[in-house]
Amino acid sequence: AESPAAAAELRAVEYASMALITLAYRRADADAALPDGSGFLVPPVDGRTIKASTFASRKWGWIADEDPDVMVLRTSVGRYGETEILRRSDADLVEVSRHDLREAVGLTAAPLETRVTRWSDGLPQYPVGHHARVARVREHVAQLPGLAVCGAVYDGVGIPACVASAYAAVDQLGGDLSAVRELTAAPVQSLHGGAGE
Ligand SMILES: Cc1cc2nc3c(=O)[nH]c(=O)nc-3n(C[C@H](O)[C@H](O)[C@H](O)COP(=O)(O)OP(=O)(O)OC[C@H]3O[C@@H](n4cnc5c(N)ncnc54)[C@H](O)[C@@H]3O)c2cc1C
C-alpha cells in the first residue's frame, strides 16, 4: 500500500542528529567524583557542548553487573540545528566530553575506554502544528486497509510513547480506533471508515 499524501507530510518533518560518547572509568575514580543520581541534563543557556550525561552503570543495573570495577558514563552532543559539533572527530568529541564533565562534576580521571556512536537524523522535531500534521497522516493512512503507523515521529520520541503508538496501531488494524483517536489530538473523522472497520 502506498500513500503519497502521507509520505509528503512525513517528508516535511525535520530531524536532529546527535552523537553519544561512551566513557568507561575505573569505578573508584568515577565514584569519587560523581554526585548521587543517574546523570544530569545541561540546558542550552549554560553554554556547554554536552547536553546531558547519563551515569549508565547507575541507571541500568545490567551495565554495572558486567564489570563491578568499571563505571560507564555517556554524554550526548548535538542539539537541533547544531551540525558543526557533529563534524568533529571522535577524539575531539571525547575531549570535549571530558572537559565538560570536569567542569560539571570534577571528574578528572582518564577513561579506560571510549566509544563514539553517531545518530544521524535520529530525533524527529515537533514544531507548532505537528499534532495537526500527525492527524493528517493518520487520516491518509486510514484510507488504506491493513496499514497503520507508529513510531517516534507521531506521539512522542521517548520509548514509552513509541510503544503506546505501536499498541494503538495494532488496535487500529483490528478495528478498535479508541487508542489512536486518543493519541491524535484532533478528532479524525475519516478514521471512522478506515482500516479494519
Ligand atoms: C541517541 C538517542 C538516545 C535516546 N535515548 C532515549 C532514552 O534514553 N529514553 C527514551 O525513552 N528514548 C530515547 N531515545 C528516543 C527513542 O530511542 C527513539 O525515539 C525510538 O527508539 C524510536 O523508535 P522507532 O520504532 O520509531 O524507530 P527506530 O527504533 O529507529 O526503528 C525504525 C526501524 O525501521 C528500520 N527501517 C528504516 N527504514 C526501513 C526500510 N525502508 N525498510 C525496512 N526497515 C526500515 C530501521 O532499521 C529501524 O530498525 C533516544 C534516541 C536517540 C537517537
In a mutational test of the pocket of ligand 1, which residue from 123, 126, 154 has the highest number of ligand atoms less than 8 Å from its CB? 123
User: Which pLDDT does position 83 carry in this prediction?
Assistant: 85
Instruction: Measure 119 CA to ligand 1 centroid, in angstroms.
Output: 10
166 lines ligand 1 (CB under 6 A): no
- What top-level class would CATH report for the domain 15-124? alpha beta
User: What does DSSP assign to residue 12?
Assistant: T
How far does residue 11's CA lie from ligand 1's centre (Å)?
A: 17
**pLDDT tens digits for range 109-124:** 999 999 999 999 999 9
Query: What pLDDT shows up at residue 82?
Result: 85
What integer pLDDT is reported at residue 192 of this predicted model? 47
- Cα(193) to centroid(ligand 1), Å: 30
Region(s) of the chain under CATH 3.90.660.20: 15-124
- The reported pTM is 0.82
DSSP 144-192: STT----STTTS-SSHHHHHHHHHHHHHHHTT--HHHHHHSSS--GGGG
Q: How far is CA 173 from CA 134, 164, 197, in A?
A: 17, 14, 9
Task: Out of 77, 150, 159, give the residue to mutate to test ligand 1, the one with the largest number of ligand atoms within 8 Å of its CB.
Answer: 159
Higher pLDDT, 14 or 82: 14
| CB of 120 shorter than 6 A to ligand 1 | no
Contact 17, 67 (CB under 8 A): no
DSSP notation for 24-89? EEEHHHHHHHPPSSSEEE--GGG--S--EEE-HHHH-HHHHHH-TTEEEEEEEE--TT--TGGGS-
pLDDT band at 186 (very low <50, low <70, confident <90, very high): low
C-beta of 42 in contact with ligand 1 (< 6 A): no
Question: Cα dihedral sign for 36, 37, 42, 43?
Answer: negative
